Chains A and B, each alone.
Chain A
Amino acid sequence: MDITPLVNGLYGIPVLGLVFQAIGYLVAVIPPNSTSIMSQATPLALAALCGVLCERSGVVNIGIEGTMLASAFTAWVVGVAINPMFQAAPTDVFGITIPLVIALIAAIGVALLISALHAWLSISLRADQIISGTIINIAAFGVTGYLDQLISKTSPAGAGEFTRFTPPDALTNLPGVGWIVSMFLNQGPIAMSAIVLIVGAQVWLFRSRWGLRTRAVGEHPRAAETVGIDVIRLRYKNVMIGGMFAGLGGAFLSIEATNSFQLGMTNGRGFIALAAMIMGRWTPLGAFASALLFATFLQLGQLINIAPPGGDLGTIMSAVPAQLFDALPYILTIVILAGVVGRSVPPAADGQPYERESAT
């Protein structure tokens, strides 16, 4: 049976035709750009993972943005400093060089220190956690800006960047799923490790003793303490481990996504990540999915700009102010947070400093 008349007939119904065109457009543009979507999502996902670990144990961390910025700067500046000592050519595996690895470790180390500061302020000193996070954001912006101004006077070259793994064509050309393969495998080491870390964190948080205790500490620290869990210590550990993930996300920006540092180059990603964390209901996989969704819409906004759809859909869309498409990811976030995902309930003791009961 020839279905062409039927399809043409469907196209005749205005709304349905547009829906078809929209689906056709999405199918045409999303798969070829899956690698870029994952690149957009990686720093968001890592930062959101930091948020999940912190808040699951009961510590709000809005200093993720600053932590990432400081790590991005550290990774770049350490690369600049030690690159001249090692004149090694990039290896075939991810373009890894010794300076790059040292830069990455330094970036994670700095993130660890900053999150330790946040932990000390908000857990030991029981300071307002929002203010502690804000300080980290402001301080990271100021200090990196100042140091960058000192260092970039001589316009030094960085240590280079991690390169992407290229999966075999046989895999990426697979019909139907090839684009998913390139999405997750045509990536650099940090993006790939992000996938592993997120899945690992999911298992760890929901299937391990540590995870159970972490969640207990975030829900009801008093009860956790009575069964012998060291609330303070566990919170410290989670905040610091989370900080390392944020550091990885920051390093991604300056030594994997690009090979440069710019003042404020995190560009609000640390805050978007918090939205992704809430959208993902404080679970690592959920946060990752939200980050991917956000990145997809970000990419879609750009694609509409770069290669607008044709046909009636294109005509209608060209009548819509283009700014609307740039705003898509943010509108989406608001819509989802406003209730599409249902009630997203934070851990009960989220943001509340814990005070040990006195012995008396």
Chain B
Amino acid sequence: MITRTTRLGLLAATLAIVASACSGAATPTPAAPSVAPSVAAPSVAPSAAPSVAASPSPAASTSAGAALKIGVVTDIGTLNDKGYNEYSYKGAQDAATTLGAATPPSIVPKDASEYKADIQQFVDQKFDVIVTVGFNLTSDTVAAAKANPTIHFVGVDQSPVCVDPTGAPDATFACKGDAKTLLPNYTSLYFAEDQAGYLAGIVAAYASKANIIGAIGGTTLCAPCVRYIQGYELGAKSVKPAIVVKSSYVTRDFSAAAFNDPAGGKIFADTFIKTNKVDVLFQVAGKTGNGVLEAACASKIYGIGVDVDQWTSLGAPANACVITSAEKHVESAVNQAITGIAAGNLAAGDVLFNAANDGIGASDFHDKASLFGPEVKTALDAALAAMKAGTLKTCPDTGCGVAK
């Protein structure tokens, strides 16, 4: 990062080279200074060819946990985004601490065109485990996993893994290949967002007096966002069958407006609240959603956070109206995955994190606890228990993750 800044300074001074540097400078430098370009000590034995066995982990089987070199490529945004990037990275840090491995360096891509090059940086430096964060990095991660069978790739939220019969990422989504056997070194962690949304829906239904509640998602293309909202609706209706659940998506593509535009999100939510007269609003739109929560608080209605405990992550005064958050335990999942690699027992392909393995949850009510009677806790516990038992339907049978 430092070198990027100095390079930019250099750019300002030397106008002539800017045109070439614009395309050439697209390879960012790792954020942590600990990534010296050390090509030494490759801890992976070259003989570890990918076998077709059940859940082989070629990297782990040949290297002790403490020697694991773990790298994290996040999605666009910042490392300290109080969301996915941050908690995935923390999970990698936790795992490194547990294993006694070196602190994992991270790279934050500037835009989607850099994903590939950023992953390649870690590959070139002979890392053993490369964690990539977010759905947007799926095809680049899969391609890298195919090209580097000795390196373990962990994708956060990249399911369903879809590959063609050769193991290459399948842009047509025909998904003819079996990722588990073709790419034994690639695991995608995914979450039962609908379960977390279901819990949030229960809380929302109890908090609502108007019996109209709302949810705003980032984009219809984000299947996890849709699942959250589908679960939310079912959860609310499990408490109050007649409750009205309104939902909208800020946009329908993966532009910055979907997840990185708090000002736009606030205006969108203002309109949404005014139009639909909701009195509880669930945001599923990343940083855009932080604007949604601001609008909710400004309109004196309740807000529900997403992915992490936003009451804690936002802090006062932004959390003034946040009653709970639908949580994905990304940190725990990444930690479990990496320690699983070290122990040689991480399955390949899609690995689900849900209520049964501490993958999801609803946050504490914090200062809003007085709003809720004991029946809310009872309802949440009952739902969680039913989810663990696998008896609770939290997503529509058809079209789970598909926006209407």
A residues lining the B interface (CB < 8 Å): 29, 32-33, 35-36, 39-40, 43, 117, 121, 127-128, 131-132, 134-135, 138-139, 141-143, 145-146, 148-149, 152-153, 155, 157, 160, 253, 257-260, 262-265, 267-268, 299, 302-303, 305-307, 322-323, 326
Contacts and interface: CB of A to CB of B under 8 A. Distances in A.
B260 A257 contact: no
B399 to A, nearest CB: 16
Interface of B: 1-2, 4-5, 8, 11-12, 15, 18-19, 22, 31, 77-80, 82, 108, 110, 220, 248-253, 256-257, 260-264, 266-268, 270-272, 274-276, 287, 290-291, 294, 313, 315-318
Nearest to A132: B15
Contacts of A146: 1-2, 4-5
Contact of B263 (A142, A143, A148, A253): A253
A157 B318 contact: yes
Contacts of A306: 248, 268, 271-272, 275-276
11 contacts: A36-B270, A39-B270, A146-B1, A146-B2, A153-B80, A259-B318, A260-B290, A265-B262, A302-B250, A302-B271, A303-B275
B187 to A, nearest CB: 28
Given A33-B271, A267-B261, A135 B18 contact: yes
A157 B5 CA distance: 26
Nearest to B9: A139
Nearest to B252: A323
B270 A267 contact: no
A139 B19 contact: no
B327 to A, nearest CB: 17
A148 B262 CA distance: 16
A99 B260 CA distance: 26
Contacts of A323: 252-253
A322 to B, nearest CB: 5
Contact of A322 (B79, B252, B290): B252
Contact of A127 (B11, B15, B19, B77): B15
Contact of B78 (A40, A263, A326): A263
B254 to A, nearest CB: 12
A240 B25 CA distance: 29
A258 B1 contact: no
Nearest to B268: A302
A288 to B, nearest CB: 18
Contacts of B316: 157
Contacts of B318: 157, 259-260
A149 B1 contact: yes
Contacts of A264: 256, 260
Query: Which of B267, B274, B316 has the most C-beta atoms of chain A within 10 angstroms of its own C-beta?
Result: B267
Contact of A36 (B262, B267, B276): B267
Contacts of B313: 155
Given A132-B15, A326-B251, A267 B260 contact: yes
A152 B80 contact: yes
Nearest to B266: A258
Contact of A139 (B11, B31, B248, B262): B11
A119 to B, nearest CB: 14
Given A142-B4, A152-B78, A134 B267 contact: no
Given A132-B15, A267-B264, A305-B249, 10 more contacts: A128-B15, A131-B15, A139-B12, A143-B8, A148-B78, A149-B80, A155-B313, A267-B261, A306-B275, A306-B276
Contacts of A258: 262-263, 266, 290-291, 294
A131 B272 contact: no
A135 B12 contact: yes
Contact of B110 (A134, A141, A143): A141
A286 to B, nearest CB: 24
